[in-house]
């Protein structure tokens, strides 16, 4: 390549650990890299499908695992930047290329000659002499083909391809619409009257948001959860709380180019048609066939089991909030924008505890150290920051991960601060996944957060919920980093949706232990440990407001299931369905859904369609899994941690998920542990 035509996405990377050379990568590099990589992948697939030799595991399944290597670098960089550091040009490319990628992979999954080879191997899998990992890969590969339309023929096959491309366009548009609405909103606080009630940490974060948006000297509340939730908690200005809350819940519902209502209708209709083509009456039936739950009925059984005590608890909490308002002389009826404000006052009264007292003891840097320390104690891995590793934004930090013997495990990026170029929420992703083929590949994993960035020179202070989010996503990160399998299709988080949250939700448990809090919950400026009395109050309040949290989550999970259990989308009005569902289940209007339909990225832009319930399913598992450590009397018990690593964190998709859990725990859990954890049962 001449200097004028060099494309770093198509060249070897000479950076430390072969990390992406972000400084050299420009937007115009992606399209030619995609075109070249797709061409190469197509040639590889054609060679496998057209191989004149009889199919073997090596010349078909392993060959497919090796195919597509050229796509890893450009796609890994592109899709991560699209979520965490996007711009107009990247968004245009995303709209252009998401349907192209969908078409590419659909063409592979509906390649008749290729599937014939896979199908022939699957039919004789017990005679091939395969080891358990190879058998599992063959089984998952075959099932993946079938679920991706491989058995369809003629017009049905062509229609399936069209549906895949159109769905990809719509999911991309949905997410971009939500981001556009988030970027467009700024609540500018003009003077002390607008700042009334806000603690110093929130004032500093709002000043930092203003600086970032070119309005230095003012304070701005954005729709980042780490800004808007504390604003709703502390602001004494009810009118501003209402304005902020309505903007938050109206994302994707504002008339104009970013309105997501028609997008939802179209997506639901296309998903139903897709499911029908594959022999299922609804998308929920199709989606749940590849899950631990298996059927909508089992999901509803779990949701209903938790809903009854959850909504009763929420109504009791509401009564306390209403009484608190009256005691303060506030002659109001509690509305959704009031809940957090009065809940904080009730918490302060009942437990002598307020968020502003806690946050100085949970500085971001110490919580990162705490997550790393926990991983070291459990799994023997250590983290060393590397300033020589290129990053895609100045706020991103890079860490080399090594094992007990000093061997390289992987590379970990932490991207912690909110910015206009990043979609909301928190997530884990990968630039590169682990495998042991042909010498092996070490993973590059990223955690993305949206914590409010403070003013220059000030520490980043987290709420306990923020710190729990950091631990949650780091649990996902460890699932990727500790992966120890041979084949890429089984590595990292390649498990069913209602199991993938187990490693993340389980890891949250260590945050609240005395072993972690005593060591790492230290004042950001003085270094003093959190006082025992404050720690005791925090522990006593751990199930406070759980009715609200449970019902807000369940409202979203139940609406998700309602959308995807539909057998027709004729005359579908998304907001009418949402409202009717909430009315039917008796959703307290003062609570509000955690994610309303028009900005529900999990189900309309992410991979959780008919799967948002999975956080609750995994919570049944994680409550029981942490009990395994508690039963030993040591939250870092080495033998239990070794089993956890072998059968959960490092095992990827090596075996069926219920088998993996039983190998770790010896049994499957019941819902009672979850109810107890949330304070919904004795």
Catalytic residues: 473
Tokens linked to 331? 């002659």
Beta strands in 214-370 (DSSP E): 219-221
Phi, psi of 369 (to 5 degrees): -60, -40
For strands 187-189 and 397-402, give the pairing: unpaired
Helices of type H across 463-567: 464-481, 497-500, 502-511, 514-520, 532-540, 546-565
Distance CA 337, CA 240 (A): 9
Residue written as token pair 């115009």: 28
Distance CA 328, CA 439 (A): 68
H/E run at residue 231? helix 225-234
Those residues with Cβ within 8 angstroms of residue 631's Cβ, 6 or more apart along the chain or in another chain: none
Helix (H, G, I), strand (E, B) or coil at 7: coil
Distance CA(337)–CA(348), nearest Å, equals 19
Cβ–Cβ under 8 Å, residues 20 and 388: no
What span, in angstroms and rounded, lies between the C-alpha atoms of 516 and 535?
A: 12
Angstrom distance (rounded) from CA 267 to CA 171 = 8
- Angle at which helices 238-249 and 225-234 pack, to 10 degrees? 150
Dist CA 317 CA 334 (whole Å): 11
Contact 636, 378 (CB under 8 A): yes
DSSP SS3 for 171: helix
Q: Beta partners for 402? A: 382, 408
Strand 382-385, strand 408-417: pairing: unpaired
Please give the order of strands across the beta sheet that includes 444-451: 382-385, 397-402, 408-417, 444-451, 427-432
> Cα 156–160–161 angle (5° rounding)?
120
Residues facing 446 on adjacent strands: 413, 429
From residue 405, alpha-carbon distances to 25, 191, 682 in Å are 34, 56, 45
Q: At what angle do helices 132-147 and 112-123 cross, to 10 degrees?
A: 140
Radius of gyration of the chain from Cα atoms?
25
CA-based nearest residue to 657, from 263, 116, 665: 665
Picking from 337, 350, 343, the residue whose alpha carbon sits closest to that of residue 322 is 343
Sign of the C-alpha dihedral, residues 331, 336, 337, 338? positive
Neighbouring-strand partners of residue 383 = 401
Helix 546-565 / helix 574-585 crossing angle, nearest 10 deg: 130
Largest CA distance in the chain: 84
Answer yes or no: are the C-beta atoms of 524 and 363 closer than 8 Å: yes
Task: State the DSSP code for 402.
Answer: E
């Amino acid at each position: 390549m001449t200097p004028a035509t060099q494309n770093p996405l198509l060249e070897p990377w000479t950076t430390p650990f072969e990390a992406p050379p972000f400084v050299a990568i420009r937007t115009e590099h992606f399209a030619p890299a995609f075109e070249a990589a797709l061409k190469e992948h197509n040639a590889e697939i054609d060679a496998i499908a057209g191989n004149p030799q009889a199919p073997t595991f090596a010349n078909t399944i392993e060959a497919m695992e090796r195919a597509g290597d050229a796509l890893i670098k450009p796609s890994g960089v592109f899709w991560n930047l699209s979520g965490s550091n996007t711009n107009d040009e990247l968004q245009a490319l995303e709209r252009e290329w998401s349907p192209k990628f969908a078409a590419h992979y659909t063409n592979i999954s509906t390649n008749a000659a290729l599937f014939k080879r896979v199908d022939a191997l699957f039919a004789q899998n017990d005679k091939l002499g395969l080891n358990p990992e190879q058998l599992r890969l063959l089984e998952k590969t075959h099932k993946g083909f079938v679920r991706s339309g491989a058995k369809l023929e003629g017009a049905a096959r062509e229609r399936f391809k069209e549906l895949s491309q159109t769905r990809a366009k719509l999911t991309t548009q949905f997410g971009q619409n939500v981001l556009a609405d988030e970027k467009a909103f700024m609540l500018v606080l003009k003077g002390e009257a607008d700042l009334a009630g806000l603690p110093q940490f929130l004032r500093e974060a709002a000043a930092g948001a203003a600086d970032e948006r070119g309005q230095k000297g003012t304070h701005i509340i954005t729709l980042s959860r780490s800004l808007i939730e504390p604003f709703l908690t502390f602001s004494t200005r009810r009118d501003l709380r209402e304005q902020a809350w309505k903007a938050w819940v109206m994302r994707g519902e504002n008339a104009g180019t970013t309105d997501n209502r028609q997008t939802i209708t179209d997506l639901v209709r296309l998903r139903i048609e897709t499911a029908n083509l594959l022999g299922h009456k609804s998308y929920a039936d199709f989606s749940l066939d590849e899950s631990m739950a298996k059927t909508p009925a089992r999901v509803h059984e779990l949701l209903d089991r938790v809903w009854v005590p959850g909504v009763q608890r929420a109504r009791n909490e509401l009564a306390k909030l209403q009484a608190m308002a009256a005691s303060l002389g506030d002659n109001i009826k509690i509305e959704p924008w009031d809940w957090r404000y009065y809940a904080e006052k009730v918490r302060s009264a009942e437990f002598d505890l307020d968020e502003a007292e806690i946050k100085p003891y949970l500085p971001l840097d110490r919580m990162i150290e705490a997550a790393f320390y926990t991983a070291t104690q459990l799994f023997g891995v250590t983290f060393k920051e590397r300033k020589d590793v290129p990053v895609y934004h100045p706020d991103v930090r890079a860490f080399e991960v090594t094992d007990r013997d000093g061997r390289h495990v992987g590379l970990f990026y932490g991207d912690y601060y909110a910015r206009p170029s990043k979609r909301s929420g928190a997530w884990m992703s990968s630039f590169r996944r682990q495998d042991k083929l042909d010498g092996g590949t070490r993973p590059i994993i990223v955690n993305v957060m949206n914590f409010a960035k403070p003013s220059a020179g000030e520490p980043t202070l987290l709420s306990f919920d923020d710190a729990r989010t950091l631990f949650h996503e780091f649990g996902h990160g460890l699932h990727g980093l500790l992966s120890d399998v041979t084949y890429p299709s089984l590595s990292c988080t390649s498990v069913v949706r209602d199991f993938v949250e187990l490693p993340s939700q389980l890891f949250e448990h260590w945050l609240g232990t005395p072993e972690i809090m005593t060591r790492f919950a230290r004042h950001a400026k003085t270094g003093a440990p959190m006082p025992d009395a404050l720690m005791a109050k925090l522990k006593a309040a751990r199930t406070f407001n759980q009715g609200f949290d449970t019902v807000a989550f369940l409202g979203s999970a139940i609406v998700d299931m309602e959308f995807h259990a539909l057998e027709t989308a004729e005359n579908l009005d998304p907001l009418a369905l949402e409202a009717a569902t909430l009315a039917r289940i008796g959703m307290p209007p003062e609570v509000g859904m955690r994610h309303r339909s028009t900005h529900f990225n999990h189900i309309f832009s992410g991979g959780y369609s008919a799967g948002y319930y999975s956080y609750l399913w995994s919570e049944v598992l994680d409550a029981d899994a942490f009990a395994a450590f508690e039963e030993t009397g040591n939250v870092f018990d080495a033998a239990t941690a070794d089993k956890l690593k072998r059968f959960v964190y490092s095992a990827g998709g090596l075996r069926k998920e219920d088998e993996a859990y039983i190998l770790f725990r010896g049994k499957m859990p019941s819902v009672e542990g979850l109810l107890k954890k949330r304070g919904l049962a004795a």
